[in-house]
Structure 1
């Protein structure tokens, strides 16, 4: 088995719309994944940000679930 290579993120933190584009997910799905603690975020003032490492970890989680054949 070979893992998909994820390109190195160019930024350390992404706003929600940027994370939506990177992950090809809708706003509601992003927030659903945040609530389910599957996608980690941080806040700076009133702004919710997604760390690049959290995006990488989320993709790895999805790949792991796909290999197991499960959805959660």
Structure 2
């Protein structure tokens, strides 16, 4: 049985997924480049925000 892909990523997992450091991720969130949500005290990055960010990078490189 396949494990479903996480829809929300903790910050360390989002950093791993993007191949960037934690401070760079905070920079991108502060600049509005990548969306995040807060649930209680946890800041999480939606999978869709990661995909959109990667797509924007690819489109700007073309």
Residue 64 of structure 1: CA displacement?
1.2
Unaligned runs of 5+ in 1: 1-8, 68-72
Q: Taking structure 1 as the reference length, what is the TM-score of the superposition? A: 0.78
Unaligned runs of 5+ in 2: none
Which structure carries more helix by proportion? 2
TM-score between the two structures when normalised by the length of structure 2: 0.90
What is the aligned residue count? 59
Which of 15, 22, 33 is the aligned partner of 1:27? 22
**Once superposed, which parts of structure 1, at least 4 consecutive aligned residues long, lie more than 6 Å away?**
none
RMSD, aligned CA: 1.2
